Structure 1
Amino acid sequence: MVRHNNQLPNNLTQLQNLVKRDPDSYKDEFRQQLAHFETTLEIFNLNPSQYNKKLDEQSMFLAQVTQCYQNDMKTFPQKIVDVLKTHNTVLHNDMRLALCKCLILLRNKNFVSAFDLLELFFSLIKCQDKNLREYLKTHIITDIKNMNMKNKDMKLNSTLQNFIFTMLRDTNVKTAKMAVDILIDLYHKNIWNDPKTVNIIADIGCFSKVMKVMVASLKFFLSRDEEEKPESDSEDEIDPRDTMISNKFNKKTRKREKMVDKVKKIAKKMKKRKAKAPIFNFSALHLINNPQGFAEKLFKQVESSNDRFEVKLMTLDVISRLIGLHNLFLFNYYPFISRLLMPHQREVTRILQFSAQAAHELVPPEVMEPVMKAIANNFITERNSTDVMAVGLNAVREICARCPLAINEDLLRDLVQYKSYKEKSVMMAARSLIQLYRQSMPTLLHKKDRGRPSEASLELKTKEYGEIDVKDYIPGSEVLLDKTKVSEKLDKNQKSVESDDEWIDVASSDSELSITTDSEDSDDDHVKEDVNEKRKKPAKQKLTPEEIEEKIKTAREVAMGKIFSDEDFKRIETAQIKKNLSGVKRKKAVVDEEEESSELVKLADIENIHKKRKHDKNARLESVLKGREERDKYGYKDRRKNVNCSKTNREKRKTKSYQMVKHKARGKVKRSFKDKQIAFRNYLIKQKKMN
C-alpha cells in the first residue's frame, strides 16, 4: 500500500512548514504557488465582491514565508494594498478581513511601514463592517505600543500623531470617532501622554460637531483611571509564606509540588512589582496649555447649545474642574449654575458638586453670593424634607472648605443654629460646618460655638480676601530644640553621678544633722511633701502672644541651622497634632489627622446623610445576609476545581447511613494479652502435631 504523504501543491500548511525549515530546497514549489497567486488575483479582480477561498489561503501562505524569499516578494505587499485601495467598499467582509490580516503579518515582519498601513486602515474604517473596525483599532493601538516599548522614535511618533489629528477633523463620523478612541487609549496606556495629545483632544474633540466625538472627549477629561480600574489580581489572594510552611509538614504529593511551584512564581512576580518604581499619572486637565480660554469656550458652548441634559452636565463638570484646579476666573458660571439649584431638579446633587468644585480662595465673596443664597433659600428651609436640608448644609460645607469667605457672618450663624435640630441628619451636617470654621476661621462663629481654645487655634490667623499666609519657618520645629536641651541636661546629670564617687565633707555638729530612727515617719513626711508640691503647682495657663512669638523665633532659628531628617519631621507632625489636643475636655478625645483636601469634591460627601439605624428584626437580618454575600462558605473548604466532578471515597462516606459503614467504623479490635497467649499456645500445639 502506497502512502501519499507528500501533497505539497495542495497542502499549503505542510509546504509552509518545509519552506521555513529549508527555503532553498523548496524554491520551485514556492515560485509555483506565487504564479498561482498572481493568476488567482487577476481572476478575482474581475469579480471582487465574491469571496475567494483560494486567494485567501495563498495570500496567507505567501505572507508567512515572505522572509525566506525577500527578492521574489518585493512587490507582494503592494499588490495586497492596491486590491484594498481599489475595491475597499465592494469587497466581501471575510475577504477584506483576510487581506488585512495578511498585511498585519507583513507589518509584524517589517515589510510594510507603519505610516502606510495606518493611512490604508483609516480609509477602510468607512466600510460597513463593525468587526473589521474593532480589529483595525486593536492592531493600530498594539502596533504603536510595540514601537514605543523599548525606545521612543520621536520623529515617527510625531508623523503618526499628526496624521491621526487630521483624521480627528474628518467629516466622517466613524473615522473621527476611531481617531479619538485611539488617542484616548494610547494616553491611558502611557504611550502618548504628552501635552500635545491632550490639547488636540481639548481643542478639536470637545468642540466637534459629531456628538459621539464630543462626548468621548469630555469623558476623557472626567475619567480617573486610578479609581475606575483598581488592580485586582487573583494572584494576590494567595499568601506564598503560608503555602511554603504548610508544605513542610503536609504529605508530599505531585499536586502539592505543582501548587508550591506556582506560588513561588507568584511570589517572584509580586517582588518584581514592588521593586518597580511607581508611575504617577497626572490628570489630563493639568496638561492643558490655556485652561482659561478652554473653560470660556466650553461655557459659551453650554449657553448656546441645545444638547441633551446629560451632555450639558458633563460640560459643566469639566468647567468646574478646570476652575478649581487652575484657580480660574469665570464669574458668569456661578449665576448660571445657581439657576439650576432647585431640590426637584434632576441630578441636583451633581450640580451642587460642580458648584463646590468651582469654588476656590480667589473667587470674590460677592460672586459666590448667588450660589450660597440659592442653596440657603431653596434647600435649607424647614418646608423641605430633612434629607434636602442635610444635603444643602453639606454642599455649603464643601464650598466653604474651598472658599471660607463665600459665606458671610450672619448667614453662617443662622445655619449653625441647626446644630440642635430634632433630626439627626440636619444636626450632624450643621455640626460639621461648625467644626470646619473652628479650624479655618473661628472668629466668624459665635463665641460659644468656637469651642475650647487650643494652642493651634491661638496660632490661627484669619485671612482676608486674596491674602496668603507665608511662613519663613517650619511650624512646630521648636520641638527639636527641646530635644537638644534634654540631651544637654542628661549629660550634666551623668557628670554629677560620676562626681558622687569622690569624698564629701559632712558637718559634724548635731544642729546640722537631724537623724530619724523611725522609717515610717520619714515615709509619711515624704508623701506629705509630694502632695503639697502637687497642690502648689499652678494650673496650665494659656500661651500669651509673647510666648507664641518666642516659639516662632525659636522655630526660625532651628530651621536655619539644621537639615531635618525623617524622624524630625515625624516629631514635628506629632507636636502639631498635640496642639489641637491641648484644651480638650474629654479624656478619650481623639483628634484625627486632617485629610489632605483632594482636588475634586466627592459626591458621597454631599450625599452623606446621618440616619438613625433601624433596630427591627428584618433590618438586622438583612444586614447579616448582606455581610455574607462575598464571604466564603463556613466550614469544610471544597478544593475541587470543578464542582460537578466526583468526590473521594472518604468524603462520600460522610453522607452514607451508619448501617452501611459500621463495619468500617469499628476498625481493628485489639486483642488482649491473654487472648494472644491462648492463640500462640494453640499455634504451637498445631505445629507439634504436624511434625
Structure 2
Amino acid sequence: MGRGVLLTSNLPQLQNLIKRDPISYKEEFLQQWNHYDSIRQIFKINPDEQAQHFKELVAFISQVAACYPKETADFPSHISILLLENYGVLSSDTRKALVQNLVMLRNKDVITSIELLKTLFPLLPQTTSSTLRSFIRKTILSDIRVANIRSRNHNLNRAVQAMLFSMVERGMGGELRVSNEPTSDRGAHNGEEAMWAVILTKELWKKDVWKDAKSVSIISQGCFHPVIKVQSASIYFFLGDDEESEDSDQEDDVDVRAMHHRREINKKTRSGDKKLRKQLKTAKKKKYDKPAMTANFSAIQLLHDPQSFAEKLYNILNRFDKRFSLDHKILIMQLLSRVMGAHKLCVLGFYTYIVKFLAHRQLRVPSILVALAQSVHDLTPPDAITPIIRKLAQDFVHPGVANGVITAGLNAIREVCRRQPWSMEEDLLGDLIEYRKSRDKAVVAGARGLLKLYREVNPSMLKRRERGKDASMGLASGHQPLPYGHTSEAAVDIEGLSLLEDHLKKLREEEGLTTEDDPAAWQKWEIESDSSSDDASDGWINVDDDDGDDNFAISDSDDELEKSDEPPPAVILTPADFALLNDLRIQAAKTAVGSGGGSQAKRKLAALEAGHSILPPDRQLQDTFVSENDILGPRKKAKADYAERMASIQKGREGRDKFGSHKGKQNKSVPSSSTNREKARNKPIMMVLSSGFVRSKKKASLREKQQKLRAHIDRSKKSRH
C-alpha cells in the first residue's frame, strides 16, 4: 500500500521502474491508466481544469505505452481525436504537449507514419503558433525523408500523396480570391490546406525525396486553385524559383529589427554582442546569396496531359483578365509559354490574347516578350505568328522610339523567327535588316542577328547582296530550306560516330591480326580441341533429332542472308561509349581550332568542354527558354549587384597588405617613404606654377637673388671638400 502511494505521487520513478520490469508493475500502471481515463472525461468538458495533471499523465503513458500494447491500444486515437475535434479550445501548451507525445509514440513504433501524418496534416492550417507550426512541418518532412532513405516506401508515399492531393482539391470549388487578405475561417476555403500541401510537396521535391509524376500532379492542381497565393506558389515551382507569396511559410526569415530590439532590452554582455553580429552576418548572406532562377525542366516534362494543362491555364488567364494583377498575369504567361515550348503545343488563343500587351510603354514588357518567344516552336502555324511580328515591328522598330526599344523589338522578332522562320514576310525582313547601318551598337547587333539567322535558315528571302558567300553557294547547289512541318532531326546518325568507328578500328589494328588471319591462333585451337577429345567418344557428340528437322535449318549459303529483307541487328551504345565519343569530339574540335577553324570551331569546342549534350542545340530543352537579357540585348554596363561589388573589392585586395602604401618603397635597398622633393617632381605643372615657392621666386628682389646664389655657391664648396 505504501509503495503504491509513493509511486502514484512520483510518475518519473514509476516510469523508470516499468521500463525495467513491466510485468511486476502492471498493477500500478493500470491504476494510473484508470486515473487518466477519468481525468480525460473531465478534460473534455472543461479543458482548463486539471490541465497540468492531464499533460503529466499523457506524457507518462506515452513513455510506457510500448510496454503494455494491449492496454494502451486506444491511447493514440484518444490524443488524435482530442487534437482534431477540440484544437480551438485547447491552450497552446496543451496543444504542443499532445503533438509531442504523439510524435513520441511514432518514434517508439507504437503507431505508424500514416497514422501520425493523418493527424498532423489537418493541424497545419489550424495552428497559429509559429513554433508549433515549424515543429509539425519539420516532423512531417523528416518522417517521410527517413522512410525513403534506403529504398522507396511506396505505400507511405502513395498514402501521403493522396492526402496532399485531397487537401488541394477540397478548396477547388470556391470563388476566386484575388486579394491576399486573411479571412475569418481557416482551412480549405481560405486556401491554407492547399497552401501547405504545395509547400510540403515542394520541400520534398527539393530534398530529392519525391521526383515522380504524382508530386507534379499535386502542384499542377494548385495552379488552378481559386486562392491567388496557392496559384503563385504552384507556378513558381514550375518556373524554378523558390519565391513564395507573403502568406506562405516564413519561419526561416530573419527579423533584423527584432534582433536589435532584443539586444537593447536584454542584459549587455560580450557574448550577446558577438551572437548578434553573427546573426546579422548570416541574415545578410542569406539575403544576397539567393540562387539564380532556373527553370524546373524535369517537372515540366512530367506533366500529365500537357495540352489540357495549357488550355486550362489560358482559360483562367482569359477569364479573369480584369481581376488578376499584371504580375500574376505575367506569371501565368511564363508558365504557359514554357509548357507550350517544351511540349510543342498549340494554344492559338494565347497569341490573340498577348497582342494587347505588345507596346513599348507597357510595364514589364521584356517579360512579356520572353513569354511570347518561348511559346513559339517549329509546329506553331506561321499564320498565327505573322500578325504578332507585324505588331512588334510597328510598335518597337521605327525611328520614333529610343534605341533600347528598337533593340528589344529586333531581338524579340529574332527569337520568334528562330523558332518559326516561316512567320516572317520578305518585305518586312528587308526593312528590319536595314537597321544594321544604325549608329547604336545594340541596334546593329540586333539587326545583324536577324540577318545571320535568315542566312542560315532561309537565305532565299534575302536580297542577293545580303545573302553572303556560304548562303549563295548553298542556293546555287540546290539547297532549299525545309517547308513548314518538316524537320531535319531524323535519327539517322549520331554526330561524331565515325570518329568512334575509326578509333575502335585503330585499336584493333594495334592489338594485332584477327583470329581468322592469325595461324598461331588456329594452331592453338587445334591443340585445345585434341586435348579435350579424350573425354568424348572419338571427339564426336551425338545429337538427337527426335524433335524432327522442322525445328531448325542449317544453310551454308550466304545468298539467303543477302536476300533477306530484315535489317541488320542494331548496336546499342553503352554510357562508356558515349563518354568516349564525347572525348573524341573534343579532340577533333581542338584539332580544328589549331588548324585555323575560326570562331565557329572555337564556339563548338567551348560548348563541348562545358559538358553539353551530344544532341544538337535545337534539341536541348534548355534552349527552348530565353531570358530578359536576350531580349534587351547588350548594354553598356549593367549595374552591379551586391555580390558582384564585393567580388570586385576582394579582387582588388589580392596581393596587398592590409594597411599602408608601397609607393616609394619598392625599388629601394632600405624601404622608406618618398620625400617632398620626389613628390614635387610628379606634381602637375599648373599646380607647381601656383605654389607659393614659385611665386616668391618671381617676386624676389635683386638682393634676395644674390643672397640665394651666394648660399648655393657656399654649399657647393662644402660638398666638394
Q: TM-score range by the shorter chain?
A: 0.5 to 0.7
* Alignment partners' CA distance in 2, 1:224 and 1:442: 40
Match of 1:179 among 163, 177, 197: 197
Match of 1:91 in 2: 90
Question: In the alignment, what sits opposite 1:387?
Answer: 404
Superposed displacement of residue 347, structure 1: 1.1
Q: How does 1:478-493 map to 2 (within 5 A)?
A: none
> 1:151 corresponds to which letter in structure 2?
S
From the superposition, tell whether residues 477 and 190 of structure 1 become closer, same or farther in structure 2 (CA, over 3 Å).
Answer: closer
Structure 1 residues 437 and 476, CA gap change in structure 2 (3 angstroms) = farther
Deviations 1:330-368 (A, max 9, x none): 122112112201111111101000010011011122211
Aligned to 2:634: 610
Match of 2:305 in 1: 290
- Once residues 624 and 129 of structure 1 are traced to their aligned partners in structure 2, the CA distance between those partners, rounded to angstroms, is 41
Deviation at 1:138, TM superposition (A): 3.0
Q: SS of the residue aligned with 1:463?
A: coil
Q: How much does 1:568 deviate?
A: 5.7
Residue in 2 that maps onto 1:63? 62
Paired position in structure 2 for 1:338? 355
Any gaps of 5 or more consecutive residues in structure 2? 1-5, 172-187, 244-294, 511-568, 660-721
CA contact (8 A) 1:180 1:216 kept: yes
Match of residue 627 from structure 1: 648
Q: Would you say the 8 A contact 1:386–1:423 is kept in 2?
A: yes
Equivalences for residues 568-579 of structure 1 within 5 A: 571=584
Q: Which amino acid aligns with 1:603?
A: S
Q: CA deviation at 1:384?
A: 0.9
**Are residues 1:54 and 2:59 paired?**
no
Residue 389 to residue 179, structure 1, CA distance change in 2 (3 Å) = same
Gaps in structure 1 of 5+ consecutive residues: 1-6, 227-279, 491-558, 639-691
Aligned twin of 1:129? 128
Q: Could you say which residue in structure 2 is the equivalent of 1:81?
A: 80
User: What residue is the counterpart of 1:407 in the other structure?
Assistant: 424
Counterpart residue identity of residue 311, structure 2: E
Query: Which of residues 308, 325, 328 in structure 1 aligns to 2:342?
Result: 325
- 1:467 is aligned to 486
The corresponding residue for 2:434 is 417
1:514-533, Cα deviation, whole Å (9 max, x unpaired) = xxxxxxxxxxxxxxxxxxxx
8 Å CA contact retained: 1:455, 1:579: no
Greater relative contact order, per chain length (Cα 8 Å cut-off, separation 6+): 1
CA positional deviation for 1:465: 0.9
Query: 1:133-532 to 2 correspondence within 5 Å?
Result: 133-171=133-171, 172=188, 173=190, 174-202=192-220, 204-223=221-240, 282-305=297-320, 306-453=323-470, 462-469=481-488, 470=490, 472-473=492-493
What secondary structure does 1:89 align onto? helix
Shift of 1:32: 5.6
How many angstroms does 1:575 deviate by? 5.9
Whole-angstrom CA distance in 2 between matches of 1:587 and 1:46: 83
Deviations, residues 17-56 of structure 1 (Å, cap 9, x unaligned): 5654555676566556545544543443342156823322
Residue 382 of structure 1, CA deviation: 1.7
Letter in 2 for 1:441: N
Per-residue CA deviation, residues 52-72 of structure 1 (Å, 9 max, x unaligned), is 233223322331232234344
Q: Against the structure 1 CA distance between its residues 588 and 580, is the aligned structure 2 distance closer, same or farther, given a 3 Å change threshold?
A: closer
Q: Residue deviations 1:499-555, cap 9 Å, x none? A: xxxxxxxxxxxxxxxxxxxxxxxxxxxxxxxxxxxxxxxxxxxxxxxxxxxxxxxxx
Residue deviations 1:309-335 (CA, integer Å, cap 9, x gap): 222211111211111111111122112
Contact conserved, 1:335 with 1:370, CA < 8 A, in 2?
A: no
The farther-off stretch of 190-199 and 371-380 is: 190-199
Distance 2:114 2:599 in 1: 71
Larger displacement relative to structure 2 (207-216 or 594-603) = 594-603
Shifted more, 318-327 versus 71-80: the winner is 71-80
Residues 157-182 of structure 1, C-alpha deviations (whole Å, 9 max, x = no match): 33333233222222422223223333
Amino acid at match of 1:383: G
* CA distance in structure 2 between the partners assigned to 1:633 and 1:578 by the alignment: 37
Secondary structure in structure 2 of the residue aligned to 1:208? coil
Instruction: Please report the TM-score for the alignment, with normalisation by the length of structure 1.
Output: 0.63
Write the distance in 2 (CA, Å) between the matches of 1:223 and 1:59. 44
1:334/1:370 contact within 8 Å kept? no
Change (3 A) 1:111 1:472: closer
Q: CA deviation at 1:627?
A: 0.4
2:78 is aligned with what amino acid?
A: K
TM-score (norm 2): 0.60
SS of residue in 2 equivalent to 1:628:
helix
Structure 1 residues 464 and 570: CA distance shift in structure 2, 3 A = farther
Deviation at 1:149, TM superposition (A): 2.7
Aligned length: 505
Counterpart of 1:401 in structure 2: which amino acid? Answer: R
Q: Deviation per CA, 1:233-267: give whole Å up to 9, x if none.
A: xxxxxxxxxxxxxxxxxxxxxxxxxxxxxxxxxxx
1:368-401: CA deviation from partner (whole Å, max 9, x where unpaired): 1122112111111121111111111221222222
Q: CA deviation at 1:103?
A: 0.7
**TM-aligned CA distance change 1:481 to 1:104, over 3 Å:** closer
CA contact (8 A) 1:44 1:52 kept: yes
- Residue identity over aligned pairs, in percent, reads 32
Secondary structure in 1 aligned to 2:481? coil
Change (3 A) 1:39 1:637: farther
Q: Secondary structure at the match of 2:315?
A: helix
Could you tell me which residue of structure 2 aligns to residue 45 of structure 1? 44
CA pair 574-214 structure 1, distance change in 2 beyond 3 A: same
Give the whole-Å Cα distance in 1 for the aligned partners of 2:340 and 2:358.
19
Task: Give the letter for the 2:348 counterpart.
Answer: F
Change in Cα spacing, 1:224 to 1:46, as seen in structure 2 (3 Å) is closer
Distance, in Å, in 1 between the alignment partners of 2:66 and 2:506 is: 79
Structure-1 separation of matches of 2:27 and 2:648:
72
Contact 1:581 1:591 in 2 (8 A): no
8 Å Cα contact 1:93-1:129 kept in structure 2: no
Deviation at 1:98, TM superposition (A): 1.1
- Cα 1:412/1:579, change in 2 over 3 Å: farther
Residues in 2 aligned to 1:328 and 1:353: alpha-carbon distance in whole angstroms: 17
Contact 2:589 2:604 in 1 (8 A): no
**Cα RMSD (Å) of the superposition?**
4.5
Contact (CA 8 Å) 2:374, 2:626: kept in 1 or not? Answer: no
Aligned partners of 1:298 and 1:315 also within 8 Å: yes
With over 3 angstroms needed to count, the CA separation of the structure-2 counterparts of 1:321 and 1:19, relative to structure 1, is: same
Partner of 1:114: 113
Which amino acid in 1 is paired with 2:165? F
More off after superposition, 53-62 vs 382-391:
53-62
Indicate how the Cα distance of structure 1 residues 571 and 411 shifts in structure 2: closer, same or farther if over 3 A, else same: farther
